[in-house]
Amino acid sequence: MISTTGRRFVVMALFALAAAQGGYAQDKATPKPDLAKGQQIVGQVCAACHGTDGNSTIGANPKLAGQHADYLIKQLLDYTVKPGAQKPARENSVMAGFAATLSDADRRDVAAFLAVQKPKLGVARNRDTLALGQQIYRTGIADKAVPACAGCHSPNGAGIPSQYPRLAGQHAEYTEAQLKAFRDGVRRNNAPMMQIAARLSDAEIKAVADYIAGLR
């Protein structure tokens, strides 16, 4: 007969085997991203606005190089109207058109390719608002219950994979536009950001956006 300890060992081994098999099955079900295919799609579809390597040179269009893949996939999905919804969580007629043409595999490939590209550094351009921008990013605004941006996006703006996007070096014009979109309810795909942006003035948004552009 097997002892109690022996039975416990067998049960644990069976659970471990089942978990391993489950993970293997999941790995087989989700193919690895094809970076070459991602590069091809970026070159054909995304490059005009975001650059061939995701380093946009247009202030209104975000830099995507080095951005977390899971975050990019979520944003592409958020441009489409979900079942039961009247509007997408992110409204942009141009991006909605492009996003609608991508399959699940396309999104994975594009996101994976952009995630491994080297982001080009940016600079803060307004010395007069640098101190205010730094304060908002690093410590927040206590009187307005605005938390420090660094708490979620990290002190150097690298973000946290799968949760919070990379911000470092992003065009100030784009960051400013997104904060205002969150504040005004045009962009609705992140409730905490909508609440935070609602407490920021135009001047505060502009200051922190410019400061973020210089993070590295």
> Could you read off the pLDDT of 156-190 as tens digits, one per residue?
999 999 889 999 999 999 999 999 999 999 999 99
- Is residue 13 scored above 70 in pLDDT? no
Amino acid identity of residue 138, one-letter, is R
Rounded-to-integer distance, Cα 53 and Cα 115, Å: 10
User: Please, which pLDDT band fits residue 22 given cuts at 50, 70 and 90?
Assistant: very low
The percent of residues above 70 in pLDDT, for the chain, comes to: 87
Q: What is the pLDDT of residue 19?
A: 47
Q: What is the DSSP string of 130-185?
A: HHHHHHHHHT-BGGGTBPPTHHHH-TTS--BTTTB---TT--HHHHHHHHHHHHHT
pLDDT digits (tens, 9 = 90+) for 34-90: 999 999 999 999 999 999 999 999 999 999 999 999 999 999 999 999 888 889 999
pTM, two decimal places: 0.85
Q: Which of 147, 152, 121, 122 is nearest to 135 (CA)?
A: 147
Helices of type H across the chain: 4-29, 35-41, 47-50, 69-78, 93-99, 104-115, 130-138, 150-153, 172-184, 191-197, 202-213
Q: What residue spans define the domains of the chain?
A: 35-115, 127-213
Report the chain's terminal Cα–Cα distance, integer Å: 64
Tell me if domain 35-115 and domain 127-213 are identical in fold.
yes
User: Residue 134: is its pLDDT beyond 70?
Assistant: yes
Fold of 35-115: Cytochrome Bc1 Complex; Chain D, domain 2 (1.10.760)
- Looking at residue 28, its pLDDT comes to 55
Query: What six digits make up the tokens of 76?
Result: 């592409």
Mean pLDDT of all residues in 114-130: 97
Q: What's the average model confidence in pLDDT over 112-119? A: 98
CB 193: neighbour CB atoms within 10 A?
18
**Residue 149, both tokens:** 């941006």
Q: Give the separation between CA 19 and CA 171, rounded to whole angstroms.
A: 44
The per-residue pLDDT for 75 is: 97
Provide the percentage of residues in the chain whose pLDDT is more than 90. 81
Tokens of 21: 């098999």
The CATH code for residues 127-213 is 1.10.760.10
Q: Phi and psi dihedrals of 205, rounded to 5? A: -60, -45
Structural contact between residues 171 and 165, judged by C-beta atoms closer than 8 angstroms: no
Please state, in angstroms and rounded to a whole number, the distance separating the CA atoms of residues 37 and 22. 28
Across-strand partners of 160? Answer: 164
Q: What local confidence, expressed as pLDDT, does residue 162 receive?
A: 83
Q: Please, is 152 exposed, middle or buried when counting C-beta atoms within 10 Å of its C-beta (0-12, 13-18, 19+)?
A: middle
Identify residue 145 by its one-letter amino acid code: A
Give one word for 136, left, alpha or beta, with left for phi > 0 and alpha for psi -120 to 50. Answer: alpha
